[in-house]
Structure 1
Amino acid sequence: MIILLNTNDLTLTDVVDIDTLSNVQSKLADLVGISVVTADANGNPVGRFNNFSPFCQLIRSSKIGAKKCIECDAQAEQKAFATGKPTISDCHLGLKDCCVPIIVNNKLLGGVLGGQVLVDDQENPKSKFDIPKLAKELDLEESELAVAIDNLAVVEPEYLQDCVDFYEVLANYFTEMGIKSLFQQQLLKETQEKLDYERRLKYAELKTVEAQINPHFLFNTLNSISRVAMSENAPLTEEMIYNLSDLIRYNLKQTEEFPLLKNEIKNIRRYLSIQKVRYGDRLNYQIDLPNHLEDFCIPYMILQPIVENAIIHGIEPLAKGGSVYISVSRNEEDISILVKDTGVGFKKQQALKILEGKDGSSDGIGFLNSHLRLRDYFGENYGLQILNDETFSTVIKIFFPAFTDYNHYKNKVII
């Protein structure tokens, strides 16, 4: 389930630009020659009527007829939303109508509707209309109504499926627009929260690291979401956006300088899960955090830059991809985290230059910050180490004292 903004009062016009909607709808409808209208969750049209039959235009020109059409469209949307599938049903005048729901954040925002045809499943299907009665009921001229009925299309059942296929393309596109709009609103909101939070930060190094939510990663993830949204109907997209939203929320709202290992690892799982969607079979990962170590603390944002480095500089350049392994262990009074990858490999000389602050490139900023912050907190015996391993291209060891309360640890060291 996608969890972004509060969508209780969300409407279609809040997340979809109506001019864009109308233009896209018109161009595609004219291209395929199928009638279509996009309506809000109450059945009210929000865009243009494209390729509507003279009969439906005439019926909607009547105040009573328009009201019944809107009620009918709203019922079709609710039915499609309840079943989670496109629907083909009879309108209030017996024409076949199709509806594909527009659903964002598990909320019905509207639907793409059309059809407005009779099906060639009985002899003379137009004969069922009682023209004098219908004209009187809707306050229309009998002669106009008779001409409109005579011009109604009578189609084979397969035509309706073609309509549904077309409406699904439009509905998926509008749903994608809605998801992007929601995400942008959420990003703006949380960015503002981050700015407010940074004003209260006392630790300059934390500011630097927290600002490194990699834009390269964010925009590639958004592209992945767009692709999945077009080809996948909900589950994978929902999980991906859910993980990304939680990851950003955790990074922006984290106020603990020394969160629990289980919370940091959980956030790393979210990050890797998102990257797994992006890279597919090119990325595999495994995390081993023993239960008895979950409640030990770790300095905030020490681990994520190392994992990002393993993927961006290790796995990504390889066409075949690779794997990342993260394991946590305790040796007497210390915690060790090993981050291993089977990527292109890290030249030890280059790694040593980064740890010494002599590399000069921007690629190792997060790596160096993690190393220096560990040494600032715990002394020169702690930090990052580059290890040799025949099985893996790169092995980074993150090394720091084992403690469940930093103040208690600090007082113990002073004593």
Structure 2
Amino acid sequence: MNKTDKTLKNLMDSNLYSRYSGLLALSNISLQLIDTNGDILLEFNPSPDFCKLICQERETRICSDYISRLNTGKGDRFICRYGLANILLPVVINNQTIGYVVGAQVYSPDSEYQKYLIDIMAMAQDKKLEPEFIAKSIAAIKTIEENKIEIHEQLCNHIAQNICYDFSESINNTDKAIARLSIEKEMLEKKIIDLEAKNMSLVINPHFLFNTLNTIARIAYYEKSHKTEELIYYLSDLLRYNLKQDDELHTIGAEMDNIEKYLYIQKIRFKNRLEYDIDIADHIKPHRIPNMIIQPIVENALIHGITPKRDGGKIKIYAEKYKNDINISVIDNGNGFPKEVLQSLQQSENKLGIGFRSTDKRLKRYFGENYGLTIAKSDYSGSTVTISIPTKPNARR
């Protein structure tokens, strides 16, 4: 592994998302970081399901329209074969392209008509997917006004330039973290003001909260309160993820990353009264589920299972793949649900309470009646709640 590759891996392990959270809050259009082979390293904002599940060879690799343009090492804005606007911006260090910031994957008002020209039946046959799934994925692609696409391109360019700066600093092994953060903070604040002035419609009230949290985190950094800085960044990420109440599917990996931050914060609160373990194999993480499906189950385990125990307990999240299904289990060694709570859960027509019933219905709406949520066990030794989903999109019913 050469020096550049090693730095790239180290950067992916850092708070890269949090660093640009103030800017990312300005747009919900696709924005990703890829390597020179086209493999997706980090999703700042996810791609449309049409691009990720239909056009791409696999979920972790960008589509062939992008791949064909990577060998030039130059930036590009192009229209793909299906009429979507796309942005490609190189990350260059010492005249070497080491990756790209890519994004958009939207229709403009002038090109929206092309979605109606896609031969859904031929595509369904070629991709071995259900026509209904393809039709819904196409319908979900955003149509964005040209000026907003241009603003998003500026955002992508700014992030690409700052990543270049990060890489350059890491490769040269310099120790200028405080100076860099000060410069970056000033640049981000200036860019946010500029973007807000150009298009106020891209800004919503929660962004003030996120920006304030990030400012406090930076102050904690300068004061060397690293634990406080980390907690604030995690809280900011949790709030942002929880506000993504869209109707798109998220990867299991993204959901688990959110849950791990939630449990980390709870661990600081409960200290040695809470232990947790997340065991999700890498080949399961790219599969997609509705957002905020698993966290309510984890919260229930904490509230009803672990909190009442004097010595606390442990929560384990485990996933396994069996044939064409994936089962994700939330297991705790608490006291089990209180009798009255368990009776309440079992009094509905689906044998589940309101919160769990809502989760079960969401899963069935996406994947069909054969999938959903079950309370596999709940007694004095603890509880096990399991959700089941299909491994393939065409398993939808």
Same fold by TM (over 0.5)? Answer: no
When you count strand as a share of all residues, which structure comes out higher? 2
- TM-score, structure 2 length as denominator? 0.43
Q: Which has the larger radius of gyration?
A: 1
